[in-house]
């Protein structure tokens, strides 16, 4: 089975939003005189690295990450290259799957770096166009579907309104545009506003 890992690594060097909880790793037990096992512990923001947002992230009445239907996170996906932003309806006019991932210049930004000026935001009109095409999941390699300085978070709210799941901080630099199978299940964090995801692509035999 050939799988392409499109997840960012989680490490103390992983970039997070300014003032957000950094990734912290420690050992609570190490093999030695007093332990026969290694046991690690991690403290991190639910938005560190590759993750799925839940409606609760932007809506106090929205559902939590453990309540989202998992079907949206598994299935055929179209990786669409974007040269620069914002991402507009024309970019999704020829999408051939019910899931779409945007490969933007942010895929060239190292997971350890924070470059808000490189974000290609998704317009609410693009979310509307995706909804009309039956899209159930949208993903981006950027840390947000909106501009990082947005106060209205229009794309986030549009995704909630249309019931479209979304992924952020994907690592797509080594992926050719085209059709794949996506497997990107979020952790079952009870009551969470988001959750880390191990996202992989399986090449579609019909297109590769």
- Classified as helix, coil or strand, 76 is strand
Mind spelling out the 3-state secondary structure of 95-163? CCCCEEEEECHHHHCCCCCCCHHHCCCECHHHHHHHHHCCCCEEEECCCCCCCCCCCCCHHHHHHHHHC
Q: Using CA atoms, how far apart are residues 135 and 140, in angstroms rounded to an integer? A: 14
CB contact at 8 A, 125 and 88 = yes
- Using CA atoms, how far residue 77 sits from 14, 102, 195, in Å, is 26, 11, 20
- Which residue among 57, 91, 156, 171 is the active-site one? 57
Q: Using CA atoms, how far apart are residues 65 and 60, in angstroms rounded to an integer? A: 13
For residue 162, indicate whether it is catalytic: no
According to DSSP, the β-strands at 178-183 and 200-203 are: antiparallel
- Using CA atoms, how far residue 162 sits from 56, 127, 133, 190, in Å, is 14, 8, 12, 23
Residues annotated as catalytic (active site), given as ranges: 57
């Amino acid at each position: 089975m050939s799988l392409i890992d499109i997840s960012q690594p989680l490490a103390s060097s992983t970039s997070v939003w300014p003032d957000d909880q950094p990734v912290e790793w420690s050992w609570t037990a190490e093999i030695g005189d007093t332990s026969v096992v290694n046991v690690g512990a991690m403290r991190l923001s639910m938005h560190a690295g590759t993750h799925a947002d839940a409606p609760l992230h932007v809506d106090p009445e929205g559902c939590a990450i453990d309540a989202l239907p998992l079907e949206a996170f598994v299935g055929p996906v179209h990786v669409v290259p974007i040269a620069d932003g914002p991402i507009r309806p024309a970019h999704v006019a020829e999408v051939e799957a019910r899931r779409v991932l945007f490969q933007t210049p942010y895929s060239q930004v190292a997971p350890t770096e924070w470059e808000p000026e490189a974000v290609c935001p998704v317009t609410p009109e693009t979310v509307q166009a995706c909804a009309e095409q039956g899209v159930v999941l949208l993903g981006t390699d950027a840390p947000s579907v909106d501009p990082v300085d947005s106060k209205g978070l229009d794309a986030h709210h549009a995704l909630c309104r249309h019931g479209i799941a979304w992924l952020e901080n994907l690592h797509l630099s080594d992926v050719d545009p085209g059709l794949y199978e996506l497997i990107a299940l979020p952790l079952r964090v009870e009551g969470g506003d988001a959750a880390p995801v191990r996202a992989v692509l399986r090449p579609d035999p019909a297109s590769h």
